[in-house]
Amino acid sequence: MTTQSTAELIQQFKLSRLLNQDQNGRRITLLGTISSLPALLTAERAAFPSDLPTLLAFHSALTQINNIGTNDIYNWYLASSGPTSQGPPDLKLNLIYPCTDKHVKKYSPQTLRMVTETPEIYKEHVRPYMQRQRDAGRLNWVFNIIEGRAEQEDVLLRDAGIGAKDGEDERFLLTPDLNWDKKTLKNLHLLALVERRDIWSLRDLRKAHVGWLKTMRGKVIEATVKLYEGIERDELKLYVHYQPTYYHFHIHVVHVMAEATSTQATGKAFGLENLISQLETMAGGPEASMADVSLTYYLGTASDLWNEIFLPLKEGGKV
C-alpha cells in the first residue's frame, strides 16, 4: 500500500460511535468502518510547542476568550486556538495575576524527594511554616467562597451541619474543582470545603472528629450522586492531600475512572476512609490526633518546605 493510499484511509473512515475518551478529554477512540470493515481510530491532541516564537504566535492566535470565573488573583477562561469562530472553544485557560514567586516554583519542573515528617518535625518546623502561609493572606480566595463573595454560582451544596457546637462548626460546602470542565462525568472532580478554620490540614484531625468526618463523607457522596445522574456511590473516590496546596481543610471528590495524575499518587493523596479508620483505631482518648504520627510524602526540590526545612535536616544543619 502506498503512502498516499494509506493517508486516504483516514478520509474513508466512517464514524459509528465514540468508543472511549480519556486523558481528560485529550484522547478519543472512535469506532467506525472503512470499506464496510470495522476500524478503530484514535485521535490525540499534539503537545504544545516549546519554542518562544511559536508560543508567541499561539498566544496571539487565541480567539473567543470568555471569562468563566474570577476569585482574588485567579481567573479562568474558555478560548479557541484558531482563527475560526466556528465550533466550541478547545482551550481552558487559567490566569494567575499577579502571581508570586511561590506560584512560579509550583509550576516549574522540579525533582521530587520523599521525606518523613515526624511529630517533632511537624511541631517544631512545619506547623510554624503553615502559620506563616496563612498569615500571608494566601487563603483569601477560599474565604471569598465560604463567605459568599465569589464563585457562588458554582456552589453545589452548602450544608448547614448542626452549627457551632463547643466552638466547632460542622458546616461545609461542595463546589467543582477549578480544573474540571464541569461536563465530563468520568473526569468529575469536586471539593468539599469546611467552613471551620481551626483545621488546616489532616494533621489537625483528632479521634473526636471521626463522627463528623463520617457524616460529612455520607452527605458529600449523597449530594454528588443526586447532582450527577448516572454516577453511583461506589464510583466516587474521596481523599485529602498532604502537603496540601493551601492550609484550609478540604476533601477531594473524584470519579474513580478519572485519570490518576500525580496528585492522586502515594505520597500525596491520603484516602478519607483510611484516615477515618486510622483515627478510630488510634490509641488514646478523643484528643489523640494525626499530629502524633509520622507521615511520609514527596516534595519538589523547588518548594519552600524542602529548602527551608527538609534539605537542612538532611544535611545535618539547623532549620
What pLDDT, on the 0 to 100 scale, is given for residue 113? 97
202 and 76, same structural domain? no
79 and 23, same structural domain? no
What pLDDT, on the 0 to 100 scale, is given for residue 165? 53
Does residue 206 contact residue 289 with C-beta atoms inside 8 Å? yes
249 and 143, same structural domain? yes
85 and 21, same structural domain? no
CA distance 143 to 193: 10
164 and 88, same structural domain? no
85 and 130, same structural domain? no
Cell of 107: 509550576
Is residue 189 annotated as a catalytic residue, yes or no? no
What pLDDT, on the 0 to 100 scale, is given for residue 166? 47
E strands in the chain: 14-22, 27-34, 37-44, 63-71, 74-80, 91-96, 112-117, 157-159, 164-165, 168-169, 172-176, 189-194, 236-241, 250-255, 269-271, 295-300
130 and 230, same structural domain? yes
How do residues 236-276 score in pLDDT, each as one tens digit?
Answer: 999 999 999 999 999 999 999 988 888 888 999 999 999 99
What pLDDT, on the 0 to 100 scale, is given for residue 124? 97
What pLDDT, on the 0 to 100 scale, is given for residue 23? 59
130 and 279, same structural domain? yes
What pLDDT, on the 0 to 100 scale, is given for residue 204? 98
199 and 61, same structural domain? no
Q: Which residues of the chain have pLDDT under 70?
A: 1-4, 23-25, 83-87, 162-168, 319
145: CATH: 3.30.428.10
CA distance 203 to 16: 52
In a domain, 212, yes or no: yes
C-alpha R_g of the chain: 23
Active-site hit among 209, 241, 250, 255? 250
- Beta-carbon neighbour count of residue 292 at 10 Å? 15
229 and 80, same structural domain? no
In a domain, 182, yes or no: yes
CA distance 170 to 160: 7
- Domain of 145 in residue numbering reads as 108-314
- CA 133 centroid distance within chain: 19
Share of the chain above pLDDT 90, in %: 58
225 and 120, same structural domain? yes
Query: Is the full-model pTM beyond 0.85?
Result: no
Domain count of the fold of the chain:
3
